Amino acid sequence: MPAAVTEERNRLDRAALLDAAETLFYAHGIQAVGMDRVREASGLPLKRIYRLFATKEDLVVAMLRHRDRRWRADLTAHVESVRDPRARVLAVFDWLAAWFAEPGFRGCAWINVHGELGSSSEPVLAEVRAHKRAFHDQLAAWVGATGAPVAEPVFLLAEGAIVTAAVTGDPAPARHARAAVETLLGCAPASPA
């Protein structure tokens, strides 16, 4: 088989596997989902799965990276569609509110994985920390553009809203956090972006 065909097959199989793993792990948790269930959902044989990812831990790390790219890209597309820097920061919380209201919302995938695996997996812990740092830095850049030195509290409000919405099953924490951020930014209440 030509190398280009093999490479394309690997890319497609990997994408299907990561999508299936993300759906299952997010909905049910890492430990509750066995590799047979991942095999069934992805349509790939176990032998193929283990050729792509030698261990379940490797699959979890790759799935978190996959989710991070998509999650932050979706957030960025929404936020950067707004021109005003302060409205951009508030748009983060509008995006969070829409996410919290989606069917199947179970909170932050990285916090959920950390809660399950904690410090028992250094590669998973490193991936969780990398996501949190990237989200922090992304948010800090948007807050920095406003000139208000409030990146840390805005980040904590976003993280707190995510956790609270997951625990309560209510999207209202995004609205409450947004109101607090309006105060922090010193701006009059703005209409949703």
> Other C-beta atoms within 10 Å of 74: how many?
12
Looking at the structure, do residues 138 and 94 belong to the same domain, yes or no? yes
Looking at the structure, do residues 104 and 190 belong to the same domain, yes or no? yes
Single-letter amino acid, residue 62: A
Which domain range does residue 15 map to?
1-54
At 141-187, the pLDDT tens digits run 999 999 999 999 999 999 999 999 999 999 999 999 999 999 999 86
Grade residue 191 by pLDDT with cuts at 50, 70 and 90.
very low
- Report how far residue 164's alpha carbon sits from residue 105's, in angstroms, rounded to the nearest whole number: 12
pTM for this predicted structure? 0.90
Looking at the structure, do residues 185 and 152 belong to the same domain, yes or no? yes
Looking at the structure, do residues 123 and 101 belong to the same domain, yes or no? yes
At 60-75, the pLDDT tens digits run 999 999 999 999 999 9
**Mean pLDDT across 25-52:** 95
| Residue with tokens 């951009």, as numbered in its chain | 88
Looking at the structure, do residues 138 and 161 belong to the same domain, yes or no? yes
pLDDT at 188 over 70: no
Looking at the structure, do residues 169 and 79 belong to the same domain, yes or no? yes
Looking at the structure, do residues 12 and 62 belong to the same domain, yes or no? no
From the number of C-beta atoms within 10 Å of its C-beta (0-12, 13-18, 19+), residue 142 rates as: buried
Split into its structural domains, the chain has a count of: 2
**Mean pLDDT across 81-89:** 97
**Mean pLDDT across 77-86:** 97
**Mean pLDDT across 107-121:** 92
Looking at the structure, do residues 65 and 93 belong to the same domain, yes or no? yes
The residue from 27, 54, 81 where one domain ends is 54
pLDDT at 193 over 60: no
Distances (CA, A) of 114 to 58, 118, 121, 131, 153: 15, 5, 9, 12, 22
